[in-house]
Amino acid sequence: NMTLAERLDGFYGTEGYHRFNLFTPIVATDGVIYFAKEGNAFWALDQMITMRMQLIEKGKIQSSEWLFFTITSNGKKADIVVDDGNGNIYAKKHIAHTDLEKGEYKFYLMDNVLLLPSEY
């Protein structure tokens, strides 16, 4: 059985873009929606959007800047880190309780699209 992280590597490009949150213009690719459904992790998408909004409000980033998110889960709790793609960390968030499958999950947020690295 392949892990969720391994299954995500199979996504290349996307067939469609999906609205997942009524309060943002940001859309997600097929692979990101697959992650959220299979991992029971729509909360993670909302967390990434919220972290981005907070960074913009604090003046740390422009809304046009590309962001790179890494979610690391041990199956019970998780950490989300957002950076600029060059190792400069903008923010971190600890999630105290989650059943997200153990693994490391990476996402890009560019031009209002949330996508998997393999879909770039």
pLDDT at 56 over 90: yes
Long-range contacts of 69-73 (CB under 8 A, 24+ apart): 69/106, 69/107, 69/108, 69/109, 70/104, 70/105, 70/106, 70/107, 71/44, 71/100, 71/104, 71/105, 71/106, 71/107, 72/103, 72/104, 72/105, 73/98, 73/100, 73/101, 73/102, 73/103, 73/104, 73/105
pLDDT in tens, 60-104: 999 999 999 999 999 999 999 999 999 999 999 999 999 999 999
pLDDT of residue 119: 92
pLDDT in tens, 9-53: 989 887 889 998 878 889 999 999 999 999 999 999 999 999 999
